[in-house]
A and B are shown apart, each in its own frame.
Chain A
Amino acid sequence: MSYFDPFLHIFGIFCGVTPSVTIGLMLTCDYLEGEDFRWDEILCMPVFLPYLIGLSFISFTAFVAKFILRSRLSFIKTARSGYNEPVEV
C-alpha cells in the first residue's frame, strides 16, 4: 500500500525511472545518429538513481561546509587532468 495519494505514488515511480529513461534516450539517439550502440552503458541504468542521490548529498555537504562550518575551501589542480585537491585558505 502507499501512504501517498495515487498521483504522488506514480510520481515516486516517475522519479525512480527518469534517470534510467534518459540513459536509454541518449544511447538510442546516438545510435540513430550512426554511432555504435553502447551496450556497456546499459549497466549504469540500475545504479544511476543512487548515484544521483549521492551527488545531491555532495551538494548538501558543500552547503554545510560553506554556510554552517564557514570553511574557506578552495581547490588546486593535481598532476592529473580533471583532478582537483581541496585546500583551506
Chain B
Amino acid sequence: MIEGKSTRSMFDDNKSILLSLLIFIFVSALLAMPFMFLPIESLSIYGKVSILTLIGLVLFMAVKYFIPSLIGVSRPGDVEDLKRFPFVSIIISVYNEEKVLPRTIESLLSLDYPKDRIEFIYVYQENCTDRSEEVILSYARSDSRVKPLKREMSSEDKVVVNPKADSMNYGLEHVKGEIIGFLDADHSLVRDAVQRAIYWLNKDEVACVRGRIRAINKGENFLAKLVGVERGIAECLSSYGTFLLGGFTHFPGGQGFFRREIFQEIGLFNHDMLVEDIDFSAKVHENGYEIVVDTGISSWEEVPATLSSLWEQRMRWSLGWMQCAIKHFIPTLKSKMSRSKQLDTLFCWSSTFLTVITTFCIPVIIINGFFYME
C-alpha cells in the first residue's frame, strides 16, 4: 500500500474542490452572460466562434456516446459449443474482501466449465487486516480449484501507485492456463462466462474479451441505483455499440479474459498507472489486437453508495484517463490500428480533457433549451 498522508474523506483535502468550484462559477457566469443579456447576433465574430466551438464539442460528445448506445441495443446471440476446453486460470486480487469473498468464490465454483480444466488463483496481500486469508484457505481446503497465493510486500511494493497491478502480475507468474481471466474480488460471474470468452478468444485477432458489469447493491440507496444505471448504460449500451462500430473498447479491470501469449508479447500491467486496465487496453489496440465486448458475459459488482466514495472513485478514474491520454496519444497515432479505431481512440484521449471544457457549457445549453422555449 502507498504510504502517505491519508485524506479520510473528500472534505479533508478540499483545496482542489474549492478552487474547481470557484473557477466553474466564474467561467460559467462569463459564458452565460452573453446569453442572458445579449442576442447572439450582437457578439463579435470571435465570440460567436468560441461559443459555437464549445457547443460543437458538446454536440460531438453527445453524439459520440448516444449513437453507440442506439446501436448497442442489439444483443449478442448464443455462441457455438466448444470443441476443446483449454485450461483456464482466473486471477482474483484480494485486499480486505472478507465480506464479499464467499459470494464471489461460490459463483466461480458454480461456473459451467470442466472442473479439471480451471483454477482460481486468489492473490492476497500479506497486509490484509481482515479475515480474507482465512476465508480463502477454508475454501481451498474443500475445493482444489481454489488456490491461495499470498503476496509478500517489500518496502518497494508499498510505494507503487497501483498495487493491484502488481498483484495481477504476481498472479500471472503462477498460472498454468492458456486462457487467463481477471476478476475483482467483489464480482460474481454468470455460469457460461468462461465458455463464451473462449469462443471469442479462439479468433487470432482477439486478445481480450470483456462483458457487462452490473450493480449488485443498487437496492442499497438511491445513489447506488443511479450509479448502477449509469454503469449499465456505459457498460452495456455504449461499450457494446462502440465495439460493433469498430471503436476503442477497453478492458474494465473488474472482469476480462485474455490469451496468455498476449502478456509475453505486449508486457504486463503497469503499476505506475492509476488505471492499469485502460493503459493495458491501449497497448492491446496499439499492437493491432481486438478487445471484444460480449454483453452475455455478465458479472455483478458493488458500486459506490456514498457521495465521498463516488467522488474518490471518479477522481481516480479521471486522473487515470488523463495519465493514459498523455502517455498514449502519440503511440496511438503511430499504431497499427484501423483508421476509424485510431480516430475513436484519439477522441477518447481528447475527451478526458474536452469534458473539462464542456463542463462549463452543458448547463448553459440545457438551460437555454428548456427555459427559453418560444
Contact = CB atoms under 8 A, between A and B. Distances in A.
Interface string A14-38: 1110110111011011000100000
A52 B20 CA distance: 17
Contacts of A83: 304, 309, 312-313
> Looking at A18, A28, A40, A55, which has the most chain B CB atoms within 10 Å of its CB?
A55
Contact of B186 (A40, A52, A82): A82
Interface in A48-65: 48-49, 51-53, 55-65
Interface string B44-61: 000000000001001100
A43 B225 contact: yes
B359 A57 contact: yes
**Interface of B, helix, strand, loop or mixed by DSSP:** helix
B20 A12 contact: no
B206 interface: no
B175 to A, nearest CB: 23
Given A25-B69, A65-B315, A79-B129, A87 B4 contact: yes
9 contacts: A9-B368, A16-B366, A21-B66, A26-B236, A41-B229, A48-B229, A61-B318, A64-B23, A81-B302
Contacts of B374: 1-2
Contact of B315 (A4, A9, A33, A73): A73
Contact of A15 (B129, B312, B366): B366
Contacts of B24: 57, 60
Given A53-B359, A75-B316, A23 B1 contact: no
Given A9-B372, A22-B69, A86-B13, A53 B40 contact: no
B244 interface: no
Interface string B219-250: 00010011011101100110000000000000
A18 B62 contact: yes
B55 A11 contact: yes
A76 B129 CA distance: 14
B358 A56 contact: yes
B2 A15 contact: no
